[in-house]
Structure 1
Amino acid sequence: MAHTSKRWKPFVYHLLVGGLALVMIYPILWLFASSLKPNDEIFATAYSLIPSRIEWKNYATGWAGFAGNSFDTFFKNSFFIAILSTIGAVISSALVAYGFSRIRFFGRGFWFACMMMTLMLPRDVTIIPQYIMFSKFGWLSSFKPIIVPQFFGIPFFIFLIMQFIRTVPVDLDEAAKIDGCSKYGIFFRVILPLTLPALVTAAIFSFYWTWEDFYHPLLYLNKPELYPVSLALKLFLDGESLNNWGGMFAMSSLSLVPVFIIFFLFQRYIVEGIATSGLKG
């Protein structure tokens, strides 16, 4: 009896896990299936994942875009914003994290507390002062309000990288200092290579958050030729005419491709970076 129970437990476990996985992945499957359905069939057979006929033209009509701007332009804008923002966020956050972790200076605890307090501020509290400031700079209707702030450090990434740096033995810093390395030399030659998992994790999160960001482009970008994919998808919905659901779902499906590729290529770094395993010693 006990032997039979042991055989059933793995089966029940995998059945439950598989069921939960199906529930979680179903919306994505529905999105891809709807991108291949005729426009009038998408919501008529909402629960079905099998189209009556495959409409590849949804991808063609969706890619054509709007007002002379194809989704080629929108994807280029998204990659430009996401890549530059990610580079700025990771480099600046790593520098600040190194300063807080390894360099002793007056008021370090105070400034670290101030940085951590910014994590508790709702976005709505800061968005109006930021908008006024960027308006005074003349940066509206450009990528600058979205990209430039990323070059001044992201508190979450700073804290994440700090936790990883603290697992690196200080003895390595001392050895590098004896060999003639300056503080910057220690950072680039010792700290950066050993904190690679945390840096890659921060880069992945930064890319994801920037790629899917809808709020900031909606606020700062006023020209369709500057829209990223997240904002361009909204143009498929027109309250005064027929909505192009097929084209929107087709382009939404394509917008997930970079996210999936990055996740499958770098997923091991996400686990290592969050776990902050680092060096033992």
Structure 2
Amino acid sequence: MMQSSIPTTKRRRGLSNLNDAGKYIILMILAIIFIGPFYWLFSTALKTIPDLAAFPPQFWPAHLDWGNFIGALTITNFAAYAANSCILAVTYSTLVTLSSALVGFGFARLKGKGKRTLFLIMLSTLMLPQIITTIPTYVLFARLGLIDTYWPWVLWGLGSSPFLSFLFRQFFSAIPVELEEAAIIDGCGYGRIFWRIFLPLSIPVIVTSFIISFTGVWGDYITPDLFLSQQNTTLAVAMTVGYTDPHGNPLINVIAAGSIFYILPVLIIFFFAQRSFVNGIVTTGLKG
């Protein structure tokens, strides 16, 4: 009996090791697939014009041209456009996080007639692509004289986000009601309960909301291109028209170098806040 069980155990361990090896192989393949575009972007940023024209395409340039990175910062006013993007992204992210937290708190903890209907209406707006409302919004802001200003992003931020409001609502719904009742007994109103108790507890969701909204504005091209002039536009728009030679042809290698600088802020933010970001997604729960 003992002898027959030993080979069975060994077979199970062998199968487990094979399964683990298969998982690692799949993960390595996926890692190569995901890293591939970044490798190609970096190699393109180091290529010279002849290397770009070579056929078949070179996976690594024969001569490294680090001057493309300098050109990415000097050919166009990179710092000024990056500052514009940063101002818009930080302003919008801060406002939309705060307003979405307020909306989520209201749906989670306050009672009122028609609350469920309003919540369903808010969720239904998630099915509307942003491009559908872009032109009507442009016409509205044009009549208000807010084109070529940053006020649209301020108003959008104050208007909250349906998705982020849903995240906050789910998180606030999971907080024990005894905590809220104890605060009410101590004489706290709902305003103080929100600011002093619920908001400090929701740091993971706050970080998640900020990262999502920041990357959305930082990577947006269509809205700044429509709403802002060339002087006040963001880095995403400036890079598409600023990196050209005297004949108007795009400088692919300089665009690739500028793209590396362009994605660095988002990578840095996610690197330092990834734990809170993951916790914010996980802890929102699915409580109705």
Tell me if both proteins adopt one fold, taking TM over 0.5 as the criterion: yes
CA distance in 1, matches of 2:145, 2:239: 27
Question: Secondary structure of 1:22's match?
Answer: helix
The CA deviation at 1:25 is 1.5
Of the three residues 42, 46, 56, the one matched with 1:36 is 46
Whether the 8 Å contact between 1:146 and 1:216 is mirrored in structure 2 is no
Of the three residues 201, 213, 226, the one matched with 2:232 is 226
Any stretches of 5+ residues in structure 2 without a counterpart?
1-9
Q: Which contiguous aligned blocks of 4+ residues in structure 1 show a shift greater than 6 angstroms?
A: none
Of the three residues 25, 30, 55, the one matched with 1:20 is 30
Residue 203 (structure 2) pairs with residue 182 (structure 1):
no
**Worse-superposed segment, 44-53 or 83-92:** 44-53
Flag the 1:85–1:45 CA change in 2: closer, same or farther, 3 A: farther
**Residues 170-203 of structure 1 deviation map (CA, whole Å, 9 limit, x = unaligned):** 1101111112211111001110111111111111
Report which of the two structures shows the higher radius of gyration computed on alpha carbons. Answer: 2
Any stretches of 5+ residues in structure 1 without a counterpart?
none
CA distance in 2, matches of 1:114, 1:41: 54
Aligned-pair identity (%): 33
Match of 2:82 in 1: 75
Match of 2:4 in 1: none
Match of 1:167 in 2: 174
The CA deviation at 1:216 is 0.3
Residue 117 (structure 2) pairs with residue 107 (structure 1):
no
Of the three residues 245, 252, 265, the one matched with 2:252 is 245
CA distance in 1, matches of 2:88, 2:55: 37
CA distance in 1, matches of 2:87, 2:56: 35
Q: Normalising to structure 2: TM-score of the pair?
A: 0.89
The CA deviation at 1:108 is 1.4
Residue 89 (structure 2) pairs with residue 98 (structure 1):
no
Q: Normalising to structure 1: TM-score of the pair?
A: 0.91
CA RMSD in angstroms comes to 2.0
2:18 partner letter = W
Size of the aligned set, in residue pairs, is 274
CA distance in 1, matches of 2:244, 2:33: 27
